[in-house]
Structure 1
Amino acid sequence: MATIGDVARVAGVSRSTASYVMTGRRTMSPATQERVREAARSLGYTPNAGARALATKQTMVIGLLAQFLEDEFAPAMLQYITGVTGTARELGYDTLLVSEPDGAHALKRLTDSRMVDGVVLLNVAHDDDRLPVLRATDVPGVLIGLPGDPSGLDVFDLDFAESGRMMVEHLAALGHRELALVTQPEHVVARGGAYVWRLLDAAQEEAHRRGLRLHAVPGASGQPQIGQDLHALLDTHPAVTGLLLHNEAAAAALPSVMYARGLQAPRDLSVVGRYSDEFARTFSLPFSSIESAPDRLGQLAVRRLLHRIGAPGDGSPPQVLLLAPELVDRGSTGAPAPR
């Protein structure tokens, strides 16, 4: 069985340097990290978790609190989970996924038992009952999702308000005067999904400022209901020439709805969504979109968390970072056809 000494020898570094790379206790150059990890892979070296925890007082595990909720589109949530777990794995950490419905109880259990070195919270609500628990513990934690009160917390999220403004601005510049916005299901809003109303409020304000009509309707989180919702929307508002999608299930269902109605984008209807490029590839979506960047958010959150784990009490202030939206043009928008 390979030892840390064997890894150091093959990588051409000292035993302590190899140990620091494998435990993450100190920052090493990317080149050194890659040599050590490649040596470990070639030798089949696996650190003993129990011995490592005793020596470093670290488990090398982070907790990820997330839920697959029935009223949200599961493939979209999965992208955030893989963004976190993939980055953690690259940096030498395992991830413990906890999906217990009572998030506050689950978080307290994790932090009190020291099962993990830090935690990442997903499904962050406006008034999230996990946050008092997180603020009361000395176990580091980060959020992917902006709560109503982010004070004292490291938070990473997309700037949903600016995303809403950008979507309306883009279609307004092309000459569209009547738009429709499909949002998340009403239950998501009821339980505090602030990202929904942040985008909605900003889109409505921008439409009002520009003198446009904007019809906002909630959509279901899956088939067949979301397809029926889209048909009903287009039947009710036949003058709409631009469609905004803040609902991943709606984006996945729209191609078949448009085909059934004999519509093409952008000839008959300009479409802009809000989802990731990977999501667009997975569902073969031809629509332009605001990049939701779940992978980047996962990377930023995990790296910040590991900084907190590796340098406790370093005095750096909490960080609230909202990613600026980027519009990925897939050719689904254009000037409205004369009617």
Structure 2
Amino acid sequence: MVTLAEVARHAGVSASTVSYVLSGKRSISRSTRERVEHSIEALGYHPNAGARALASSKSNIIALMMPLRTDMYVPVMMEIALAVTTTARAHGYDVLLLTGEEGPAAVRRVTGSGMADAMILMDVELDDERLPLLRESAMPAVLIGLPSDPAGLTCVDLDFAATGALCAEHLAGLGHREIAAIGEAPAVYERHTGFAERTLEGLRLKSRELGLRLLHRPSQGGYDAMTATLGRVFDERPGTSGFIVQNESAVEPLLGLLRRQGRAVPEDVSVVAICADQVALQASVQLTAVSIPAEQMGRQAVEHVVTKLAGQATDVVELIAPELTVRASSGLAPE
């Protein structure tokens, strides 16, 4: 790793001069500044967060609060976190990872300590206990998620209500009239997690509009849980011919159980998923699906944070329009 002293030797100046160029705390002649900047670029020097903090009284750190829960699909969370980290580094910021389970206590610790310049919150609930603290704080913050009241907040998320509606519309267009939604684990709905609640809201509204009979059943995922869930669905609605799955751990068990019951996909039953592309493409039947734009959400959240830190932003709600990709798992309803 290139050091500040090596930059100074390359530019033919003192280490303190390089420090002053980086911090802007003292006037440096244009020719000297250009020489130092040339050396920084030529050597690929990147000041660490601690050095920048000493120079600017800022930490140059963005705190990311992400969920590490057994009832959440971790790969998508990690993809968002990776996008946040790489985008933050491109802007010269490091990322401090906090677990969502810490809740309001973590928000108090960060906003009251100066350990970070801004926060990004994931796993947002409709009535999230962390939000009053953010509104009271002067710290720039962005949510990856949408609460029931986003006033005074900046939010980035997939439009999950439109996602649910789009899935219902797709099945209705294929002639399906009785559909079942296999949702996240019950605890996700008990917490009133925004993405799950909003998907269900969109599904219900569009189903009523199109005259569909909708049955929603949360599921832990896995074969045992899906065996019980699928049994309940067909007991209550024997004519169910379309499934919408918003639970990555339920996808393959559902497909396997349908095969064991002699129900062909998509000839007898259609399956539409809301999931990562990797899940849709690697399933035993490639899934018609709305992809979770994890990388885009993480990247745009950081861009909003950086704009806020520059004092140039107003609070906005940015909802990403869903895109449904038709693959092998959906077809015309059986006659």
Q: Which bin holds the TM-score, normalised by the shorter protein?
A: 0.7 to 0.9
Matches within 5 A, 1:304-323: 304-309=304-309, 311-312=310-311, 314=312, 316-323=313-320
> Match for residue 52 of structure 2?
52
Cα 1:69–1:275 change in 2 (3 A) is: same
- Aligned match of 1:334 in 328, 331, 334? 331
Please name the residue that 1:104 is paired with.
Answer: 104
Structure 2 alignment gaps of length 5 or more: 12-17, 24-37
Distance 2:189 2:292 in 1: 19
Q: Is the 8 A contact 1:73 1:221 kept in 2?
A: no
Structure 2 counterpart of 1:233? 233
**DSSP 3-state at the match of 1:220:** coil
Q: How does 1:102-251 map to 2 (within 5 A)?
A: 102-222=102-222, 224-251=224-251
Give the drift of 1:223. 5.1
User: What amino acid is aligned across from residue 155 of structure 2 in structure 1?
Assistant: V
How far, CA to CA, are the matches of 2:282 and 2:158 in structure 1? 21
Give per-residue Cα distances to partners, 1:157-194, cap 9 Å, x unaligned. 11111111111111111111111111222322221213
| 2:256 alignment partner in structure 1 | 256
Any idea what the Cα deviations from partners look like across 1:77-113, whole Å, max 9, x if unmatched? 3333233223223433221111162311111111211
Distance of 2:299 and 2:48 partners within structure 1: 26
User: Compared with structure 1, are the counterparts of its residues 48 and 81 closer, same or farther at alpha carbon in structure 2 (3 Å cutoff)?
Assistant: closer
Task: State how far apart, in whole Å, the 1-side matches of 2:246 and 2:161 are.
Answer: 12
For the aligned residues, what is the CA RMSD?
Answer: 2.9
- Mapped to 2, the partners of 1:36 and 1:96 lie a distance apart of 29
Partner in structure 1 of residue 296 of structure 2: 296
Q: Deviation of residue 277 (structure 1)?
A: 1.4
Which runs of 5 or more residues in structure 1 are unaligned?
A: 21-34
Going from structure 1 to structure 2, the CA distance change for 1:285 and 1:61 (only over 3 Å counts) comes to: farther
Q: Which residue of 1 aligns with 2:321?
A: 324
2:261 and 2:83 mapped to 1: Cα distance? Answer: 37
Q: Find the aligned partners of 1:254 and 1:100 in 2 and give their Cα distance.
A: 30
Q: Is the 8 A contact 2:255 2:284 kept in 1?
A: no
Verify the 8 A CA contact 2:68 2:101 in the aligned structure 1: no
**Is the 2:273–2:280 contact (alpha carbons within 8 Å) kept by the matching residues of 1?**
no
Q: Using the TM superposition, give the Cα deviation of residue 156 of structure 1 relative to its aligned residue in structure 2, in angstroms.
A: 0.6
- 1:84 is aligned to 84
Query: Which residue is equivalent to 1:32?
Result: none
Extract structure 1 runs of 4+ deviating beyond 6 A: 35-38
Report if the CA contact (8 A) 1:286-1:332 is conserved. yes
Cα drift, residue 219 of structure 1: 1.3
Identity score, percent: 36
Normalising by structure 2, report the TM-score.
0.83
CA spacing shift, 1:108–1:39, aligned 2, 3 Å: farther
Distance 1:129 1:282, change over 3 A: farther
Distance in 2 between residues matched to 1:198 and 1:61, nearest whole Å: 31
Amino acid at match of 1:68: L
CA change 1:144–1:223 in 2 (3 A) is farther
Q: 1:335: Cα distance to partner?
A: 0.7
AA at the equivalent of 1:206: K
SS in 2 for 1:224: helix
- Give the TM-score taking structure 1 as reference length: 0.82
Are the aligned partners of 1:230 and 1:250 in contact in 2 as well (CA < 8 Å)? Answer: no
CA contact (8 A) 1:226 1:249 kept: no
Deviation of 1:296 after TM superposition, in Å, equals 0.6
Q: Within 2, Cα distance between the matches of 1:83 and 1:231?
A: 39
Q: Could you tell which deviates more after superposition, 178-187 or 93-102?
A: 93-102
Cα drift, residue 325 of structure 1: 0.7
Paired positions, count: 313
Greater Cα radius of gyration, structure 1 or 2: 2
Question: Residues 327 and 36 from structure 1, CA distance in 2 versus in 1: closer, same or farther, beyond 3 angstroms?
Answer: farther
After superposition, the C-alpha distances for 1:12-57 in whole angstroms (9 at most, x for unaligned) are xxx89x959xxxxxxxxxxxxxx9998555xxx4424332112122
CA gap 1:79/1:281 in 2 versus in 1, 3 angstroms: farther
Change in CA separation of 1:55 and 1:148 when aligned onto 2, cut-off 3 Å? same
